[in-house]
Chains A and B, each alone.
Chain A
Amino acid sequence: MSKTKIRIDYDKCGENGKVDPRDCRKCLEVCDPCVFLMHEALGCKEEDPYNPQHWRITPVWPSVCTRCFYCVKACPEKAIKISW
Chain B
Amino acid sequence: MCDWCLKHGNGKKWYMNAKNYSNELAKDLDLEDYLTEQWMNFETVFIRKIMGISSKGLGYKLKMPIIGRVLRWLAERMIHSESKNRNPMRADGHFGQVLPLEDAQIILSELAAEPIMENYCMCRWMQKGKKEACCINFGVLSGVIEKLPRFIPKDRVVMLDREQAMERLEEHNKKGYIASVWFQPVPYICAICSCETPECGGLRLRNDFNLKAVYKAEYIIQLDHDKCEGCKACVSMCQFSAIRFIPSINRVMIDYDKCFGCGVCRHACKFDALQLIPREEYPGFDGKY
* Chain A residues with a Cβ under 8 A of chain B: 3, 25, 28-29, 31-34, 36-40, 42, 49-52, 58-64
A34 to B46, CA, bound (A): 14
Q: How many residue-residue contacts, CB under 8 A, span A and B?
A: 73
User: Is the beta-carbon distance between B41 and A40 smaller than 8 angstroms?
Assistant: yes
Residue of B nearest to A3 (CB): B60
| B-side contacts of A64, CB under 8 Å | 59, 198, 208
Q: Which residues of A contact B78 (CB under 8 A)?
A: none
Q: Which 7 A-B pairs have the closest CB atoms?
A: A63-B59, A25-B129, A28-B129, A39-B43, A34-B127, A34-B198, A39-B44
- Classify chain B's interface size: 20 to 34
B206 within 8 Å of A (CB atoms): no
Choose from B41, B46, B60, B149 the contact partner of A37 (Cβ within 8 Å). B46
Select one of A39, A40, A50 contacting B147, CB under 8 A: A50
| CB of B199 within 8 Å of the partner chain | yes
**Cβ-defined contact, B47 with A62, below 8 A:** no
- In the complex, whether B247 has a CB less than 8 A from a CB of chain A is no
B58 within 8 A of A: yes
B204 at the interface (CB under 8 A from A): yes
Pairs across A and B, CB under 8 Å, 30 listed: A25-B129, A28-B127, A31-B128, A36-B127, A37-B43, A37-B46, A37-B127, A39-B43, A39-B44, A40-B43, A40-B44, A42-B44, A42-B47, A49-B40, A50-B147, A50-B148, A50-B149, A51-B150, A52-B40, A58-B47, A59-B56, A60-B46, A60-B47, A61-B58, A61-B208, A63-B57, A63-B60, A64-B59, A64-B198, A64-B208
